[in-house]
Amino acid sequence: MKKRIIIRFKKNMIDKPIVYRLARDFNLVFNILRANVLPKADSIMVVELEGTDENYQRGIDYLINAGCDIEPIEQDIKRDEAKCVHCGVCTSVCAPSALYLNRDSMKVEFDYERCVACELCVRVCPVKALNVYFDY
């Protein structure tokens, strides 16, 4: 089982080893996709967690009990290949480099595995080739 979640935590939690505990105590493999962690402000992390369903739920319960707010990423970004003109505007706002310009073909490539569904690319696409789809 592999799921992406958003973890929001308060500034007083900055000294707690939250992600470490997910790995050590709940045997979850984690991949930090995006993070904005500040010492004197509320912080956010987008992570992908992988493990058994039971360990995942135990890890989520730990995060909630520790005071974190958890949001599952229930959306995905899709690209309409017929609409895309490969202008590259989306690549300029894609922090995890899920959208990038293939220098050989000069076409925009989309690595869905790297996408954190921040929706910045959707907002800047001049031809509306990128859209958000919700997975409920």
Which CATH number describes the domain made up of 76-134? 3.30.70.20
pLDDT bin (cut points 50, 70, 90) of residue 49 is very high
Instruction: Show the tokens assigned to 74.
Output: 């229930």
Beta-sheet pairing, 130-134 with 2-9: unpaired
For the cut 90, the answer to whether the pLDDT of residue 100 exceeds it is: yes
One fold for 2-72 and 76-134: yes
pLDDT bin (cut points 50, 70, 90) of residue 113 is confident
Superfamily (CATH) of domain 2-72: ACT domain (3.30.70.260)
Q: What is the largest CA-CA distance in the chain?
A: 50
Question: Residue 74 has what pLDDT?
Answer: 66
Instruction: Show the tokens assigned to 63.
Output: 């995060």
Q: Where are the domains of the chain?
A: 2-72, 76-134
Q: Cα separation of 44 and 90, whole Å?
A: 23
